[in-house]
Structure 1
Amino acid sequence: MSAPVAVRRPANRSRDEARNGLPVEPDTSQPLPKRLLRTPLAWLTALVVVGYAVCLVLLYRQVVPDQEVPGGVLPGLGREAVPIAARYAAITVIPLTLLFLWADRFRPQRFWVWFMTFGWGACVATFFSAQVNSWAAAHLSIIGDGDPATGARAAIFVAPFVEEAAKGTVLFWLAILIRYAWVSRLSGIVLAGLSGAAFAFVENILYYGRAYRYAARTIGSVPPEEALRQVFVLRGLLTFFGHPLFTSMTGIGLAVAMRSRSKTVRVVAPLAGFCCAALLHMTFNTAASLLSGRQQLIVFLFVAIPLVLGFVGFVVRQLLAQGRLIRTRLGDYVRVGWLEADDPVPLSRLRTRPRALWHALLRGPSTFLATLRFQRAVTELAYLRDSMDRGLVDAAGHARERVLLAKIRTLRPAAVIQPVGAADYPWRRLRRRGRVAAVPAYAPPAFPGPAGLAGSYPAAPGTPGAPSAAPGPLGQTATRYSEVDPTWKPPGEQ
């Protein structure tokens, strides 16, 4: 009877972990290639990469060469304009991406999650949005400058819903695949921001390339580089926040749903987030299409800027709130004696955690990896405790809790938890190596004092009691001993 029970328990445990979305520790006894081949996420990533490449190639073939449309030829971007436009678009997307990754500080996602989210926004969302926008605009009988997607009504009534749905689809997929990692509203903002920034990157390439190509083909127009820079100032500098801000509403709605036990909230919150994203997008496109000059400036100064500043303040508040949450939940383990009393404060501060990683990096790769894994394990433990307290994870969370506590105990000796003093920079180590340790001088001999014969350490050379000097007398200096007669023997002995 014992054998079936031993086989059944791991299966039940895996089923409990899958039901709660808990991660499963990899079997490190197997080689890495074998583990990757048995991981569903590895195969999913490979399939997604192929899909991204296909969408990107199809979009390139659609927008770069000239296309024949009813009534004439629609000029494409041309191969010359694409690299130039991509450089200008990268000026915006690189800082935005780094900013969102910086905001994902307490519980950063895995690299493949960032890659899948960014790639979806750049490849899949842009391709399907271009197809659906053109199809819907054509059915609305909109007449533009040869491209049916350039009409104002398409930009106002079609593009917001289509583009927000295309960008937000990846968020719903990730909410299904890694729902355990959606620990806060910051998780939704970061992932949504990456998708929106990637979408804006490719869309900006299209806008910049069209401006460049139009100026190059039009006689008497401004130079192509000048025309591109004018569009760059408008889209890349003044309104760069558009797509990330819109899609973040969908991410916040999903995050609220993931952290709630109410079925009503889980249905209404994502729908409300998507509607808010589409409404903001529609308002932005309306102002850009129907307003001009001073009207646009008023909307920009009194609507757009306050909205962006409020969003930044919301993100900062969320960062501080997550620090307090981690400190509180780690305090639960301190009270039962499973963590050190000094752990919660340095592991929940925004400045102390990266400083500890910097100190660890200067001490060597092994210390850096141990510190990074220690911080991730402690943070996951805090959010696991919060999920169990909210009722989002049932008793299966105790098994994961024990795994994390064991990992923390193993990594603690090699990790930097509370950085103290200045970092161990290489030049500081070289300076310490260059210093010659000063040899303490011997105290002046005071025979029979602490130096010399019968002292605690030898006397300095050239002094009485030193090896090179003549041995001093034993006992008091006034005492003199006679020489021993080697022929002496007791009386009566022959």
Structure 2
Amino acid sequence: MSAPAALRALTGARQGRDRDLARNGLPVEPDRSQPLPRRLLRSRLAWLTLVMAIAYAVCLVLLYRQVVPDQEVPGGVSVGLGRDAVPIAARYAAITAIPLSLLFLWADRFRPQRFWVWIMTFGWGACVATYVAAGVNTWAASHLSIIGDGDPATGARAAIFVAPFVEEAAKGTVLFWLAILMRNAWVSRLSGIVLAGLSGAAFAFVENILYYGRAYRYAARTIGAVPPEQALQQTFVLRGLLTFFGHPLFTSMIGIGLAVALRSKSKTVRVVAPLAGFCCAALLHMSFNTAASLLSTRQQLFVLIFVAVPLVLGLVGFIVRTLFKEGRLIRTRLGDYVRVGWLEPDDPQPLSRLRTRTRALWHALFAGPATFLATVRLQRAVTELAYLRDSMDRGLVDAAGQRRERVLLEQLRALRSQAVITPVGHPTYPWQRLRRGAGRRAAVAAYPPPAFPGPAGLGGSFPAPGAPSGAPGPLGQTATRYSEVDPSWKPPGE
């Protein structure tokens, strides 16, 4: 076979393996022999990220032009938020959005998603979902509201019967796209909760800006009303403190349904579970809007304490339980590789405990960038390996999983010597290294120069016995002393 024919055969075989991996939803290792710019230009995810970033920017600009400036409508002028209210409202909205998003990212610890996935999910909820929901809700309110002016806040029927389905569909669309593009990363229900929570927190962030800005602008334009800042703070207490959990809680139902579908082999479950998750999210959202629109303040407080708070605590308990469950699953699946000799017997325990993994990353952080990067890559590879083994055991992945399995095992073998697996003691912080280095320099300077032989032996750092401090020992042949002998001595009988 000629060289070109052999090259074509090799390329065809590699493309076939890549198609098998893609069919099973498994990642394909990039060709690291090519430069990074060429790999980015050939990456579909890189181009998709660029297109989506442009779409997010366009939706955000359109939403800004729709709600911030005053709009002329038939019969008058629709008052917008105003440019002066948006920065103030954004600061109050960030008080809730930032800690809530960080909390969801912290929960995604066993198999954290790529950074671009977090950004794309948050951007979708903040830009696309809010723009679509605002347009559809306004249109529905104009048709359903009897005394309202088209504003969703004035149409209770639109808030109860339209907004839950529209907003949950807008927030959950990105979850369906991610489930299609990277279903291998949805390894547990926790993955669905984290991504859904990020989309919901981003949606609530922009929606709170609209509500806070509307309260601020209304108080500023109304004679005899409370000061604008006070009106904004009252709205912040209601939406940012008492009911901040609403959107993330509702959308989490969709994430759980998708995660159940992706980890099941039954076609019925794969269809019913996402639909059930969406219906559950819309039902919870509808109940929340009904209570906010039709109940009195005392009744709303009763619903908040005895209905909403238990639901939130139940979701938190479910997340904690899932963390421990995933740890046991990783430990069990890594034990399969220990039994065949591909992993060390002591590997499953530290690599399946969140506390030990966190400590290992902390130790590696102060051991140098190379060690930290190797530790991160090893933990990601070993987690993917465990979940891949679980997928193969469930029958979700065919023989292509064995090729991905070999790649992960080779990565573990290459990273083991440099990564931190089982941290021991405390890490050496930079200031401790500087202090120890100064102490060693001072201690060495206090000793006299090395003297032979000295109590420390050859090359010791202590003076020889009987020699004055700092005096060098004998050098050359004078360092060897022989006992006195008779020069005329010879063996007897000679």
Q: State the TM-score, normalizing by the size of structure 1.
A: 0.90
Matched, 1:101 2:66: no
Within the candidate set 316, 320, 324, 1:316 is matched to 320
**Matches of 1:451 and 1:189, distance apart in 2:** 66
Whether the aligned pair in 2 keeps the contact of 1:451 and 1:459 (CA below 8 Å) is no
- Deviating 4+ runs (over 4 angstroms): 437-442, 449-452, 462-466, 470-474, 479-482
Sort the Cα spacing of 1:105 and 1:84 in 2 relative to 1 into closer, same or farther, 3 A: same
Sort the Cα spacing of 1:451 and 1:378 in 2 relative to 1 into closer, same or farther, 3 A: closer
Deviation at 1:459, TM superposition (A): 3.8
Sort the Cα spacing of 1:435 and 1:290 in 2 relative to 1 into closer, same or farther, 3 A: same
Q: Which whole-Å deviations, capped at 9, do the CAs of 1:175-228 have from their partners, x for residues lacking one? A: 000011110001100000000000000000000000000010011111111000
Whether the aligned pair in 1 keeps the contact of 2:142 and 2:148 (CA below 8 Å) is no
1:297 corresponds to: 301
**Matches of 1:15 and 1:480, distance apart in 2:** 90
Whether the aligned pair in 1 keeps the contact of 2:139 and 2:150 (CA below 8 Å) is no
Within the candidate set 271, 274, 279, 1:270 is matched to 274
Structure 2 residue identity aligned to 1:299: V
Structure 1 residue identity aligned to 2:151: D
Within the candidate set 380, 385, 388, 1:376 is matched to 380
Matched, 1:231 2:238: no
**Matches of 1:450 and 1:89, distance apart in 2:** 69
**Matches of 1:393 and 1:139, distance apart in 2:** 49
Within the candidate set 163, 167, 174, 2:178 is matched to 174
Within the candidate set 351, 359, 380, 2:363 is matched to 359
Within the candidate set 116, 121, 130, 1:112 is matched to 116
- Indicate the SS of the match to 1:73: strand
Specify every segment of 5 or more residues in structure 2 that has no aligned partner in the other structure, as ranges: 489-494
Deviation at 1:440, TM superposition (A): 8.8
**Matches of 1:200 and 1:62, distance apart in 2:** 18
Specify every segment of 5 or more residues in structure 1 that has no aligned partner in the other structure, as ranges: 485-494
Within the candidate set 44, 47, 50, 1:43 is matched to 47
Whether the aligned pair in 2 keeps the contact of 1:134 and 1:149 (CA below 8 Å) is no
Q: Which whole-Å deviations, capped at 9, do the CAs of 1:12-40 have from their partners, x for residues lacking one? A: 21221111011111111111111000001
Matched, 1:70 2:80: no
Matched, 1:280 2:284: yes
Whether the aligned pair in 2 keeps the contact of 1:361 and 1:368 (CA below 8 Å) is yes
Question: What are the within-5 Å matches in structure 2 for residues 137-216 of structure 1?
Answer: 137-144=141-148, 147=151, 150-216=154-220
Within the candidate set 77, 82, 85, 1:81 is matched to 85
**Matches of 2:456 and 2:91, distance apart in 1:** 78
2:467 corresponds to: 461
Matched, 1:418 2:422: yes
Q: Which whole-Å deviations, capped at 9, do the CAs of 1:60-101 have from their partners, x for residues lacking one? A: 000001112333222100000000000000000000110000
* Larger-gyration structure (1/2): 1
Sort the Cα spacing of 1:185 and 1:377 in 2 relative to 1 into closer, same or farther, 3 A: same
Whether the aligned pair in 2 keeps the contact of 1:381 and 1:401 (CA below 8 Å) is yes
Deviation at 1:147, TM superposition (A): 2.3
Sort the Cα spacing of 1:462 and 1:305 in 2 relative to 1 into closer, same or farther, 3 A: closer
The sequence identity of aligned pairs, in percent, is: 76
**Matches of 1:465 and 1:360, distance apart in 2:** 44
**Matches of 1:286 and 1:403, distance apart in 2:** 53
Deviation at 1:134, TM superposition (A): 1.1
Structure 2 residue identity aligned to 1:414: Q
Question: What are the within-5 Å matches in structure 2 for residues 307-346 of structure 1?
Answer: 307-346=311-350
Deviation at 1:430, TM superposition (A): 1.5
Deviation at 1:467, TM superposition (A): 2.7
Within the candidate set 217, 222, 229, 2:221 is matched to 217
Whether the aligned pair in 2 keeps the contact of 1:249 and 1:276 (CA below 8 Å) is yes
Whether the aligned pair in 1 keeps the contact of 2:145 and 2:154 (CA below 8 Å) is no
Deviation at 1:267, TM superposition (A): 0.4
Q: Which whole-Å deviations, capped at 9, do the CAs of 1:144-164 have from their partners, x for residues lacking one? A: 256255211111001000000
- Indicate the SS of the match to 1:413: coil
Deviation at 1:141, TM superposition (A): 4.1
Whether the aligned pair in 2 keeps the contact of 1:247 and 1:277 (CA below 8 Å) is yes
Structure 2 residue identity aligned to 1:198: A
2:491 corresponds to: none
- Indicate the SS of the match to 1:68: strand
- Indicate the SS of the match to 2:77: strand
- Indicate the SS of the match to 2:252: helix
Deviation at 1:293, TM superposition (A): 1.8
Q: State the TM-score, normalizing by the size of structure 2.
A: 0.90
| Aligned-residue RMSD, C-alpha | 2.8
Whether the aligned pair in 2 keeps the contact of 1:164 and 1:277 (CA below 8 Å) is yes
Sort the Cα spacing of 1:471 and 1:311 in 2 relative to 1 into closer, same or farther, 3 A: closer
